[in-house]
Amino acid sequence: MAGKLRKAAIIGAGYVGASCAYAMLNQSLCDEIMLVGRSDKRTRAQAQDLSHCVDFSHSRTQVYAGTLEQCGDMDLIVLCAGGNPVEGGSRLDLLDSAYEIYRDMIGRMMASGFDGIFLVATNPVDIVTYMVWKLSGLPRERVIGSGTSIDTARLKTLLSEHLPVDPRSVQGYVMGEHGESQFVVWSHVTVGGKPLSDIISQHPQRFGNISLDDIERRTRNAGWDILLGKGSTHYGIAAALTSIARSIFNNDCRIAAVSAVLDGEYGAKDIGIGVPAIIGRSGIQEVLELRLNDAEQLRFAHSCAVIREAIQSLPELQAVGD
Ligand code: NAD
């Protein structure tokens, strides 16, 4: 029997990493999942627990604990190590600790011979995506952040509560920073192909009371609601990561709102930010450039400024590759 094994490593075996492994395993996405964590004992226990799911799943996935030095033949590395923001703070507060975590780790994975795709969940995800791109030296299409994929799912879920349709029948995106400066691209939200603005204006009795500002605010705050309620948000992001990983492994060319390192798209360069992109076997196959209206362009520019300021707060990163 021929065929290359599909292998993924997950770095950080906490809530997000373990939930991602669980989702990948239940979707029979790959042949091997290697967990790499800070505590060997805990990581081995996570791997052992997950390996017991195999008897109940559709196909065999080997789950084991490993090291950064064993990443050489991985197709995909999912980065989930890091902490969560505290109440009253922001995801941007995590930047210094994320840099401390990944400063040496990325080099060690690259030294092991890794030549696949990085998928980043660690917050602040847009800046960590940029950081991983810089530190790894990989082409920009092979470093993908989960970006605003989870925020987009939250938007669709909220809209589906107002319009009686399945969230999957709502099309649209949250773009920009996975953080406070994100924004909904309302000009491109459609339901079954029909613009949301038409639906609202044609049915004032049914939908006239929908407040787009309120939906946008609740979309932005959903992560905080969950974090303050239970200490971590992990099932939704794990599903988002698994969906992106599936599009890579199966070359599905699905479009998702991910953090991509831009090179002129949307008039921005040398920055990681949430934009819709086609995801396939080679990573980001193309960034989809939506025609934003004037207000949306301003919001995109503001989000870029927030991210750029954070990138510039790490002078060490600026020097990489110079
Ligand atoms: P957690 O505390 O449950 O797990 C974090 C894990 O990272 C722990 O197992 C810890 O041991 C590990 N870790 C920390 N430093 C490490 C190091 N130097 N080497 C190896 N492992 C290390 O946290 P969580 O809830 O799983 O969140 C993980 C990350 O995912 C955080 O940065 C969080 O903000 C982020 N997150 C992102 C999104 C998103 O949409 N991108 C959503 C939710 C969470």
Q: Tell me the helices (H) and strands (E) count for the chain, helix number first.
A: 11, 14
Q: Which of 172, 112, 122 is nearest to 146 (CA)?
A: 122
- What CATH class is the domain 149-315? alpha beta
Q: Is the pLDDT of residue 119 over 90?
A: yes
Atom of ligand 1 nearest to the CA of 18: 26
Instruction: Tell me the domain boundaries of the chain.
Output: 7-145, 149-315
Binding site membership of 82 for ligand 1 (Cβ less than 6 Å): yes
> Is the predicted pLDDT of residue 60 greater than 90, yes or no?
yes
The one-letter amino acid code at 46 reads Q
Ligand 1 near 244 CB (within 6 A) = no
Q: Which of 80, 125, 132 to mutate to test the pocket of ligand 1 (most atoms within 8 A of CB)?
A: 80
* Mutate which of 10, 11, 15, 16 for ligand 1 pocket (most atoms within 8 A of beta carbon): 16
Q: Is the pLDDT of residue 86 over 90?
A: no
**What angle do helix axes 235-249 and 15-26 make, rounded to 10 degrees?**
50
The model's pTM is 0.97
Residue 3, pLDDT score = 67
* Residue 149, ligand 1, Cβ within 6 A: no
User: Is the distance from CB of 148 to CB of 274 less than 8 angstroms?
Assistant: yes
Average pLDDT, the chain: 95
Q: Is 121 in the pocket of ligand 1 (CB under 6 A)?
A: yes
Distance 25 CA to ligand 1 centre (A): 19
The SS3 call for residue 18 is helix
The whole-number pLDDT of residue 270 equals 95
Counting from 1 in the atom list of ligand 1, the atom nearest the Cα of 36 is: 20
pLDDT band, very low/low/confident/very high, at 276 (cuts 50, 70, 90): very high
What span, in angstroms and rounded, lies between the C-alpha atoms of 167 and 169? 5
Instruction: Classify the phi-psi angles of 215: left when phi > 0, otherwise alpha if psi is within -120 to 50, otherwise beta.
Output: alpha
Residue nearest to atom 13 of ligand 1 (CA): 81
The answer to whether the CB of 274 is under 6 A from ligand 1 is no
pLDDT digits (tens, 9 = 90+) for 158-182: 999 999 899 999 999 999 999 999 9
Mean pLDDT value across residues 194-216 = 95
pLDDT at 8: 98
Select from 84, 149, 237, 307 the residue to mutate for testing ligand 1; criterion: most ligand atoms less than 8 Å from CB.
84
Q: Indicate the CATH number for domain 7-145.
A: 3.40.50.720
The better pLDDT of the pair 88, 134 is held by 134
pLDDT at residue 2 tops 80: no
Alpha helices in 112-263 (DSSP H): 125-136, 149-162, 196-202, 204-207, 212-230, 235-249
Spatial contact of 45 and 18, defined as CB atoms under 8 Å apart: no
